[in-house]
Chains A and B, each alone.
Chain A
């Protein structure tokens, strides 16, 4: 390419980049700004691009009258427990798949990936019947169990790539020193593959945090609702309380955004190694 072409290409790159960032950020800006407006300003015509009288009243309402704190707590409990379980189970399974001589590795991996893409609706009625019989509707385990099952495959898929990169000599050295398989995994392999662990953990956490369908079906009781269900059902019969919805949304978005930005490099690496390299 000539120099002029390179410069043009660079310009196109910058323009596309800036346009894309604007398109991504604009709705978020609108959401946060709206959460700082009063109810009158939210339905003002024409809309105000900045809050004229910024107020935190939507936030106090969200946590007070609308009891958003319960949803937030439920989401935290369900997501954190599911993530811990996934990381433990997935690290054992992916170590075994990466190391031990198991027949049909490829088949297992492909089956796992296909399963992880099944929509929730494919298992909803039997799981509902089972949960009903066990008396587990409206409980934390009603969500933790399916969340762990549906997120394990992808976590195994991601972690396996990291484990495969650790030299086998380390395992052998550990075995010579008398360490069993479990000790090897938890004392040698896991500390060396922290990025893989974190990537798997973040993916699982995001998936649990955002899951709607199971949460809607299994936990209909207000005291066991999670954030997505809470935000979906905020709407009244005739009016939609956008101020409350967006205050709640802003609170729900913040922890994930912070988490993802901090672990940005690992998440990107996990996405690309998991999805592209195989």
Chain B
């Protein structure tokens, strides 16, 4: 009974990943009668690793993943700590927190594109009315600002989700632990670092892993918001693979980029599998 589901998943995910590896080792040409493969060894990987564009995309994606995930975890933890108490309207708030998570990323990209607009964008208008800036800023116009702008859109959409996971983690911590810490004379900071943080580690690790993996697949947001620009400064590895394959028809090198992404993700997953194991074990008992 498990097998139909597992077979199907394997057929549509594992098999293509294997096939990707094979494709990345071939010269591939698209012609009227389908795709022509000819074995090329590691030639595609050589092209990719020698490409400055790949280096740039890799660095952008790593910086993007690390910064957004860190900010989301810290912000999410702060909010979760603040609202982890019996206050009115928390149920309603949690319902609202779900909404950004259900939002089509393309819509959020268009929404932020309009907010950032350099001519009639509301953000410039608000900042100017508050006299925080004197002249309008072209948010998507320079590499650094564009990167920050994409990050803000991501942080806006994902922090509520992270908050919910951490809030659930906080609620699992038995309150007598805090009382014991208090009796032992621990202040708020002390009990945060010696009770909350260690017990929250599994949820934090899981949220971090999910988010980092997701961030490595980053595509929708820059595709719509900046088109990878200005220049190629906000091009993620997924976008690079997409452009190579479907705009330039460089199937071999593009697939090599995809395989490299899988390898990075696998390594990260293996490192974090300890966190998974600990949690799965808990349920299986």
Contact = CB atoms under 8 A, between A and B. Distances in A.
A275 B169 CA distance: 9
A264 to B, nearest CB: 5
B48 interface: no
B110 A153 contact: no
Nearest to B14: A115
A216 to B, nearest CB: 8
Given A21-B96, A124-B245, A150-B13, A272 B5 contact: no
A12 B87 CA distance: 11
Given A100-B1, A210-B103, A212-B219, A125 B254 contact: yes
Contacts of A227: 104
Given A27-B111, A210-B105, A125 B258 contact: yes
A170 interface: no
A244 B282 CA distance: 50
Interface stretch (A54-62, A106-114, A171-179, A190-198): A106-114
B83 A17 contact: yes
B99 A260 contact: yes
Given A181-B1, A252-B107, A267-B98, A125 B245 contact: yes
A232 interface: yes
Contact of A20 (B98, B120, B160, B254): B160
Contacts of A77: none
Interface residues of A, number: 99
Chain B: interface residue count, which band?
35 or more
A81 interface: no
Interface string B152-190: 000010001001110011001000000000000000000
Given A45-B120, A113-B276, A242 B110 contact: yes
Contacts of A126: 15-17, 19-20, 23, 255
Contact of B217 (A121, A132, A231, A242): A121
A196 to B, nearest CB: 14
B225 to A, nearest CB: 10
A278 B110 contact: no
Contact of A92 (B5, B19, B224): B5
B31 to A, nearest CB: 12
Point out which of A43, A118, A121, A126 has the most chain B C-beta atoms below 10 A from its C-beta: A121
16 contacts: A10-B87, A12-B82, A20-B163, A42-B120, A43-B120, A89-B8, A118-B13, A125-B245, A125-B251, A153-B9, A232-B110, A249-B107, A249-B110, A264-B94, A268-B94, A268-B168
